[in-house]
Structure 1
């Protein structure tokens, strides 16, 4: 038991056999290396084997992990988007996971290289690197998770999730064990923050990494990379106060409020409790509902940067330093402190003491008070100046208004004179037109009188002619009436004669009937003869 220090945890890492990958990479001719990089980025740089010294560096780094804070720096190693290939093959099974054996992918890559199908060769090599180096699971085996991530073309969130989840999982109960992540990428990322020149680089490789790291100061760390200083970064997702990460094995959140310095912004005070709380930590298997919830949170991403953190300033202030010191006192460091391995270079310090901070605060308050007084004076003078300016503007406006009114009156009178002259001309023209119109009217009246007389004569002639026609029609009407009366009288006489004739015909028919009956009776009597009466005795 080490007093004042926390116990070290024994970590182990995947040790992939990269000989087959090296042979596959050798298939790419120099003319097609550029095509591979354009399609799959710089993942060829990840195909190397960690030395014992490299593993010791990662092992030492992970001893500083604080499970309560998820206290890891952001993953800022840049990977390119990945493009899926069209390699033909078959799934095999290894354990419970389907996938491809590395030898099968190697054989396919050689076949396609022989026929010059370089796009497929590059895809087979890239997916092999995914399964063996970036997302290792089984030795010389590319499982379906690596293939799925290769097809999705965005491995970065999963890489980060693998590191956080696996390290946090191995820190539970300080049990240690195999860290399921890309150790090569973790090593490259870690080395990117350490000094790349000077006394630190010249240290004997046999010196322990614990001694090297404990001898570093904050000024020795390269806090920002790749032009990230001052850029906006993801600070939360959805309703969560932090960012959830989904790895191959499980899901865990990390706290981006602790990475402001890596993004180039000053850390003025300790983080809030909700900013470093545990939002998610669970394995993928059997937690599909939680996984869907995490994926839904990623639909709403919040970013922060210069707003609200201000300009770039990679410093931290006493309040944060006190909080960090108390955190270290409660969680302990894994190694004892040591002397600095890098000589101090005079220059601007990234931190300030409490006395300097208070002095700067007092000076700032005094300057703010003076600024407020000056602002009040300036405001007073500006108000007076504004009042004078307003009065002058009013006078200028009135003068301009009078001048404009005079110009308008002058123009108005000129227009009136022009209108009078024009009116006189129009009056003369109108008189001439009226005279001509009077003559035309008189001529028209005489013509109308003549036309009226002619019309009256014509009307009288038509009336006489019409009256004559009426008399003729009247006589014809009387004649027609007389003829009608004569016809009616003849018709009545005819009807009377017809009735008499009908009566006579009826009488004759009656007599004829009686005569025929009498003749028939006489004929029958003649046929019968005289009748014989009964004899008397």
Structure 2
């Protein structure tokens, strides 16, 4: 007789380097952080979440590809839009989410929300792999410049773009790619969070392991919310 035991897969997590980003906010007063949260949700808490990778690896073992949920012995459960919205403290807009289709935004459309003129965007939008984007070093430099001038709105806007590319939708190390930029411009990320988690977990199960490439802190906080608090 064959065994019904499910194979154990070997997973990895992308572990972004956050030292430069945390340096931007290490000396920022509480009121400035609160202003950031009002506009962009609880992204700073998500960034600072210490993820137990083994908890994510264990959770991923229970993913059921045919049912597209996590199946345990006595129950099934899966993340929802409402749960992610609550954790990130970001509302769900009644708008079309990012689809990855359509034309790229113009240099003006990219630069306006982060207070850069189109010439600066054009000069610093670089190719990496098969996409365009900004290096983390460039964006941190701009956020630091705005911070030194006490232009807190501009500094926060650039910081938010950094978090979108490095923490929320990581793809390439130390690089904010065009996908993250487009999601940032739409300012309606929750449905994309959910799709990203499902896609990454489903894909890695189909491939019997590998890199889980989604917002690990968000997934981890969601998982913890279903466990006993003590």
**Superposition TM-score tier, normalisation by shorter sequence:** 0.7 to 0.9
Indicate conservation of the 8 Å contact 1:13/1:183, yes or no: yes
1:153 — aligned with what?
Answer: 187
In 2, Cα distance between equivalents of 1:81 and 1:87: 24
1:240 — aligned with what?
Answer: none
2:176 — aligned with what?
Answer: 142
In 2, Cα distance between equivalents of 1:25 and 1:141: 19
In 2, Cα distance between equivalents of 1:107 and 1:18: 14
The 5 Å alignment of 1:109-128 reads: 109-128=143-162
1:131 — aligned with what?
Answer: 165
Indicate conservation of the 8 Å contact 1:87/1:108, yes or no: no
Indicate conservation of the 8 Å contact 1:18/1:49, yes or no: no
In the alignment, does 2:90 pair up with 1:85?
no
State the SS of the aligned residue for 2:5: coil
2:9 — aligned with what?
Answer: 9
The 5 Å alignment of 1:257-296 reads: none
Q: What RMSD over aligned residues (CA atoms) do the two structures have, in Å? A: 1.9
Task: Please give the TM-score of this superposition, normalised by the length of structure 1.
Answer: 0.34
Structure 1 residue 94: Cα displacement? 1.3
Task: Please give the TM-score of this superposition, normalised by the length of structure 2.
Answer: 0.78
Task: Give ranges in structure 1 of 5+ residues lacking alignment.
Answer: 198-537
Indicate conservation of the 8 Å contact 1:25/1:125, yes or no: no
The 5 Å alignment of 1:386-425 reads: none
Structure 1 residue 97: Cα displacement? 1.1
The 5 Å alignment of 1:45-194 reads: 45-48=45-48, 50=50, 54-72=52-70, 73-75=78-80, 76-77=83-84, 78=86, 79=88, 80-81=90-91, 85-88=113-116, 89-90=120-121, 91-172=125-206, 174-194=207-227
* TM-aligned CA distance change 1:96 to 1:117, over 3 Å: same
Structure with bigger gyration radius: 1
* TM-aligned CA distance change 1:81 to 1:121, over 3 Å: farther
State the SS of the aligned residue for 2:69: coil
The structure with more strand, counted as a fraction of residues? 2
In 1, Cα distance between equivalents of 2:15 and 2:54: 14
Structure 1 residue 34: Cα displacement? 1.6
Structure 1 residue 27: Cα displacement? 5.3
Q: How many residues align?
A: 192
